[in-house]
């Protein structure tokens, strides 16, 4: 699995947990709706760290919590 897909999956998972729509996430994060949509659908390949901080703040999680999934941790681990 690619990183962009794992990030997309995590954003969508947290949005569902919080009952958020793309519009709500855009409003809470201050990120334009189009960019939020592109992140949440995997159309953005490399979101910047400041964008991810805003997304995490809006979702009520830290960066550590965001990236603490098994799926994302596998992508960070060195390949054997």
Check whether 12 has a pLDDT greater than 60: yes
Report the b/e string of 16-51 with b at 16+ CB within 10 A.
eeeebebeebbebbebeeebbbbbbebebeebeeeb
The label of the residue with tokens 């400041």 reads 50
pLDDT at 80: 42
Considering only CA atoms, which of 45, 43, 37, 31 is closest in space to residue 15? 37
Q: CB within 8 A of 70, min separation 6: which ones?
A: none
Q: What totals of helices (H) and strands (E) does the chain contain, helices first?
A: 6, 0
Mean pLDDT of 56-72: 92
Q: What percent of the chain has pLDDT over 70?
A: 92
Mean residue pLDDT across the chain: 88
Domains observed in the chain: 3-75 (1.10.260.40)
Q: Give the predicted TM-score (pTM) of the model.
A: 0.84
């Amino acid at each position: 699995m690619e990183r962009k897909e794992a990030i997309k999956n995590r954003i969508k998972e947290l949005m569902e947990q919080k009952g958020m729509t793309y519009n709500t996430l855009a409003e809470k994060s201050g990120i334009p709706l189009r960019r939020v949509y592109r992140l949440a659908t995997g159309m953005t390949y490399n979101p910047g760290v400041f964008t991810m901080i805003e997304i995490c703040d809006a979702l009520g999680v830290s960066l550590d919590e965001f990236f603490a999934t098994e799926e994302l941790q596998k992508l960070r681990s060195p390949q054997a």
